[in-house]
Amino acid sequence: MRRLVYLLPVAVFGVLALFFVRGLTLNPRDIPSVLIDKPVPEMNLAPLPGRPADSGLATADLKGRVSMVNIFGSWCIACVQEHPVLNWIKGQGIVSIHGIDWRDDPAEGAKWLRRNGDPYERVGADPPPGRTAVDFGVTGAPETFIVDKQGVIRYKHIGPVTPEAWEKILLPIIRELEQK
Amino acid sequence: MIAEIGHFALILALAVAVVQSLVPLAGAQRGDAAWMAVAGPASMAQFLFVGVAFAALTHAYMVSDFSVLNVAQNSHTDKPMLYKVTGVWGNHEGSLLLWITILALFGAAVTAFGRNLPPGLKARALSIQAMVSVGFLLFILLTSNPFERLDPAPFNGQGLNPLLQDPGLAFHPPFLYLGYVGFSMAFSFAIAALIEGRVDPAWARWVRPWTLAAWIFLTCGIVLGSWWAYYELGWGGWWYWDPVENASFMPWLAGTALLHSAVVVEKRDALKSWTILLAIVTFGLSLLGTFLVRSGVITSVHAFASDPGRGVFILGLLTVVVGGSFMLYAVRAPSLKVGGLFAPISREGALLLNNVLMATGAGTVLLGTLYPLFADALDLGKVSVGPPFFNSVFLPLMVPMVLAMAIGPLLAWKRGDLPGVLSRLKLAVALSAAVAAATWVLQGGSAGPWWAAGGMGLATWLFLGTLAEFAERVRLFRSPAQALGRALALPRAAWGMTLAHAGLAIFIAGMTASSAWKEEKVQTMKVGDTVEVSGYAFTLAAVRDVEGPNYLATEGTFEVRTGGELFATVTPEKRTYRQPPRPTTEAAIVGTFLGDVYAVIGDADPQGGGWVTRLYFNPLVPWMWAGALIMVVGGVVSLSDRRHRVGAPTRARGSRPAAAKA
């Protein structure tokens, strides 16, 4: 009986190790999105005031090449933090970035872009209640989706895009999708 | 060329480590002195080779050799030299090399200072140490080679992360590693003792200073990290129960317990198998921390770039080292001779109680840290465990521990007199109750949190209890004239204990106050606006754009007034570094005896009127840093005790002074 007590540490460690083995195959950052690997929802969003008349965002615009769709809003503080990074990514000329001005007054969104820089090729206005972005699978702003050449959503990034996230996660996915 | 020398030196170190892990151990089993003697020169050679590799990588960083991939990814010619050098360990591969260098350093130190060790114990311990080295050298050579070349070499590197260019963070990892790896000494000696089947006071006398040194380094490392988070992250907090913080805190808890149970082994020849277990657990938790940070199993704000391939390797290493050790423990520990017996109420009893509470504390932190993993693995959904869990489970465990901490040192060995001790602490009881009551009244009763009074009372209790023990020891009240002389003649280990316990008391006061009465105001301010926080009126006097060498910043100027008088003018900044853009917060902090005045400026309000500002008063935060520093000083003083001095001749057992303890 006394001997069994001495086996306790190794037993506890064994259980822990099993969990670690399982844990290595899981990704804790994965937040399941039902819309991953589904086509982009049907949409036809109006452009923001002050931008070219044909620069709204429609389903067809997301076909033919790999693109990023960024959800922002003039009310969103974290978007201010993220924005210089998007401007910087645009400067690299690797991928076209589109925006959805979500749950926002389009005039405010346009003003916000004039102040913080405009990295977007197309921007669709999705004023309240913002149904289109919700159809996309948005849970909050900022979020960024990667859409492949066929117009299928391949990845969803939650929260601000950081230089690290761009280099380590988003860019490799974009490169891979471009090969296909 | 130099990078290839470094790579080659690592391979040589691996070869030496393999020899060192096998030959001396076999020699000790066979009783062959020549084989055992291999351990000494081998540990020196291993240190030499690993040192060459470390120097080679440091050289590559200093001359910005971007043909080395690791340097290209993590350095930049514009970095100040200090941060080029500290950049060596600011990444996965380099920090692993630092780990191994420190491990080899400790191995060499055993050879250098351990002349009076029993040869069998020394040979076995060095072999165990070398086995750990083999594991880590294989890990670095197979999965994380820091000397990998990059062709063509870029014109400049990518590594200018401004968050990492900071003295607090630059020296945080070396201290942590000195702590983590330092516990490998206790581990190696514990395994050696298990193989020998003998644990005696001489063993504990050897293990204690190493454990103490590791504890000092780890304490420094944790405090540096916490201090950095406090002034750089700009949220006014200093501890977030983040998995990576927990990864360093768990070995600290277990190591603190080990430090105290080793005292019992040394003085009373008791608690042996428990001490051995703690030594294994402490180092095991250090390895677990390494695993968690580098495998991607747990998400955290400061995890290294994680890679499942590395995760598999390090999990294998963890399983071999910790699983193997526990297995050996299960087989050998039951046959360890049971030493001195003691009554539950005794100094041994108090130390054991503290040990159990510390270990339980470490267990709860482990549970909270790993719970998201358990839930994910069992398909219970994604959960995160935050401060509420830790605060409501861990902190209550620490209450009885602190209560016992003041009493334990006053109890006699073997059989203590609790009523007698309590009657000597009457004054401390009364004053602690008075402080608790005064705290309650001053915070306006239930206007403040209910536990604040308890925390302040507890801090007072520990502080006075520690002083009372010291006063008793120097007979301050019975013969005050000779008290000073007696105090100077006390063993330094006794001074060390008094300082460390008093430091913890001061820390607890700071922690309680800063958690209970922190005042935080977040608002949008325009120039000219005034906001009052805890009696300090912050006026936003000006906001201007500042251009630094590689960043643009918004700098706010706050005039802080108290009672109408200008107290300070502070200028927090919000910086955006260029290429790639990266925001950082430079909080402005002015410390006073009673707390920190802390101001942060955020983004311009999107609606165009003013700036988001966060203003804090953090009561008694300087006490926390001071308390932690006093604990470290206590450790250093105790380490300088001649009885701890490594290699000092051992005294005959009977002649040790009765007052001796830690």
Size of interface A-B (CB pairs under 8 A): 96
Classify strands A67-72 and A57-58 as parallel, antiparallel or unpaired: unpaired
Question: In chain A, how many domains are there?
Answer: 1
Under an 8 A CB cutoff, do B280 and A9 touch?
yes
ipTM for the whole complex: 0.80
Q: Report whether B516 contacts B454 (CB < 8 A).
A: no
- Please tell me the distance in Å from A149's CA to the nearest CA on chain B: 28
- Please tell me the distance in Å from A61's CA to the nearest CA on chain B: 29
Q: What CATH code is assigned to B1-160?
A: 1.20.120
Residues of A in contact with B280 (CB under 8 A): 9
Residues of B in contact with A109 (CB under 8 A): none
Under an 8 A CB cutoff, do B582 and A162 touch?
yes
Task: Please indicate, yes or no, if residue A51 is contained in any of the structural domains.
Answer: yes
- Please tell me the distance in Å from A115's CA to the nearest CA on chain B: 9
Which of A6, A15, A90, A166 to mutate to test binding with chain B, by most B CBs within 10 Å of its CB? A6
Q: What is the pLDDT of residue B540?
A: 92
- Residue-range definition of the domain harbouring residue A88: 30-179
Which of B338, B367, B382, B550 to mutate to test binding with chain A, by most A CBs within 10 Å of its CB? B382
At B530 the three-state DSSP class reads strand
Under an 8 A CB cutoff, do B579 and A88 touch?
yes
Query: Across-strand partners of A31?
Result: none
Dihedral over Cα of B603, B607, B611, B612: its sign: negative
The answer to whether residue B302 scores a pLDDT higher than 50 is no
Q: Report whether B463 contacts B505 (CB < 8 A).
A: yes
Under an 8 A CB cutoff, do A16 and B370 touch?
yes
Helix-then-strand count for chain B, H and E: 22, 10
At A35 the three-state DSSP class reads coil
Under an 8 A CB cutoff, do A24 and B297 touch?
yes
- Please tell me the distance in Å from B370's CA to the nearest CA on chain A: 9
- Please tell me the distance in Å from B519's CA to the nearest CA on chain A: 23
- Give CA separation, A76 vs A57, A101, A109, A167, B576, in Å: 20, 10, 11, 24, 18
Q: What is the pLDDT of residue B305?
A: 44
Task: Please indicate, yes or no, if residue A137 is contained in any of the structural domains.
Answer: yes
Q: Report whether A74 contacts A57 (CB < 8 A).
A: no
- Does residue B305 belong to the interface with chain A, where contact is any CB pair within 8 Å? yes
Q: What is the pLDDT of residue B384?
A: 67
| pLDDT tier at B245, thresholds 50, 70, 90 | confident
Under an 8 A CB cutoff, do B373 and A74 touch?
no
For the record, the structure tokens of A20 come out as: 């670690």
Largest CA distance in chain B: 83
Q: Please state, in angstroms and rounded to a whole number, the distance separating the CA atoms of residues B388 and B375.
A: 18
Q: What is the pLDDT of residue B579?
A: 60
Find the DSSP H helices in B269-386.
Answer: 272-295, 308-318, 324-332, 347-377
Which of A1, A12, A20 to mutate to test binding with chain B, by most B CBs within 10 Å of its CB? A20
- Does residue B373 belong to the interface with chain A, where contact is any CB pair within 8 Å? yes
Concatenated DSSP letters of B355-399: HHHHHHHHHHHHHHHHHHHHHHHTTS------HHHHHHHHHHHHH
**CA angle in degrees (0–180, nearest 5) for B180-B405-B511:** 70
The answer to whether residue B252 scores a pLDDT higher than 90 is yes
- Give CA separation, A53 vs A47, A56, A64, A110, in Å: 6, 7, 21, 13
Tell me where in chain B the CATH 1.20.120 domain(s) lie.
Answer: 1-160
Q: What is the pLDDT of residue B307?
A: 60
Task: Please indicate, yes or no, if residue A64 is contained in any of the structural domains.
Answer: yes
Q: Please state, in angstroms and rounded to a whole number, the distance separating the CA atoms of residues B641 and B615.
A: 46
Give the residue, B660 or B469, on which the prediction is more confident. Answer: B469
| pLDDT tier at A6, thresholds 50, 70, 90 | confident
* Residue B141, amino acid: L
- Please tell me the distance in Å from A113's CA to the nearest CA on chain B: 11
Under an 8 A CB cutoff, do A84 and B581 touch?
yes
pTM of the model: 0.83
Task: Please indicate, yes or no, if residue A15 is contained in any of the structural domains.
Answer: no
Burial string for B307-319 (b: 16+ CB within 10 Å, else e) reads ebebbbbbbbbbb
pLDDT tens for residues B39-76? 999 999 999 999 999 999 999 999 999 999 989 888 88
Q: What is the pLDDT of residue B536?
A: 92
* Residue A24, amino acid: L
The answer to whether residue B399 scores a pLDDT higher than 50 is yes
Task: Please indicate, yes or no, if residue A13 is contained in any of the structural domains.
Answer: no
* Residue B506, amino acid: I
Q: Please state, in angstroms and rounded to a whole number, the distance separating the CA atoms of residues B184 and B127.
A: 12
Q: What is the pLDDT of residue B237?
A: 77
Q: Please state, in angstroms and rounded to a whole number, the distance separating the CA atoms of residues B263 and B80.
A: 45
Q: Mean pLDDT check: name the lowest of A82-96, B155-169, B312-326, B611-625.
A: B155-169
Give the residue, B221 or B297, on which the prediction is more confident. Answer: B221
Task: Please indicate, yes or no, if residue A38 is contained in any of the structural domains.
Answer: yes
> Nearest-CA neighbor of B571 among B601, B548, B537, B547?
B601
Residues of B in contact with A88 (CB under 8 A): 579-581
Task: Please indicate, yes or no, if residue A81 is contained in any of the structural domains.
Answer: yes
At A103 the three-state DSSP class reads coil
Give the residue, A150 or A136, on which the prediction is more confident. Answer: A150
Residues of A in contact with B380 (CB under 8 A): none
Q: Please state, in angstroms and rounded to a whole number, the distance separating the CA atoms of residues B300 and B323.
A: 26
CA-nearest residue to B317 within chain A is A17
Burial string for B126-152 (b: 16+ CB within 10 Å, else e) reads bbbbbbbbbbbbbbbeebbbbbeeeee
**CA angle in degrees (0–180, nearest 5) for B643-B647-B648:** 40
Q: Report whether A70 contacts A138 (CB < 8 A).
A: no
Residues of B in contact with A20 (CB under 8 A): 291, 295, 297, 315, 318, 373
Chain centroid, CA B375 distance in Å: 28
Task: Please indicate, yes or no, if residue A68 is contained in any of the structural domains.
Answer: yes
